[in-house]
Amino acid sequence: MKFNMINQEKFQNKMLCICNENVLFEIIEDIECDWGSHTVIQCPKCEELFSVDCECPAFQNALKLSKSNNSLFSDFEKSEYLKNAHPK
């Protein structure tokens, strides 16, 4: 799933991070891994990086954020995120 398929505004609102801090994530476009490039978000508190376009072993899984932020991803977005995952 490409980042532009996701409503970018949802990442411009404060969310609960896995570090239990309510933060405004920084959006970082075009960061590379061994399999290509991604758009990621970064927590300003714990500095963890989350790939928001597809699951990638180089970054945290953005679906972890949906456990504390229920409306972050639709079921379709979750499915596409996992379907386009990089190998582990």
Domain chopping of the chain, boundaries: 3-83
C-beta separation of 49 from 41 below 8 A:
yes
Over the Cα atoms of the chain, what is R_g?
Answer: 12
For residue 20, give the nearest of 60, 68, 66 by alpha carbon: 68
pLDDT in tens, 12-45: 889 999 999 999 999 998 899 999 999 999 999 9
Distance CA 56, CA 72 (A): 18
* Averaged confidence pLDDT in the chain: 88
Is the whole-model pTM more than 0.85? Answer: yes
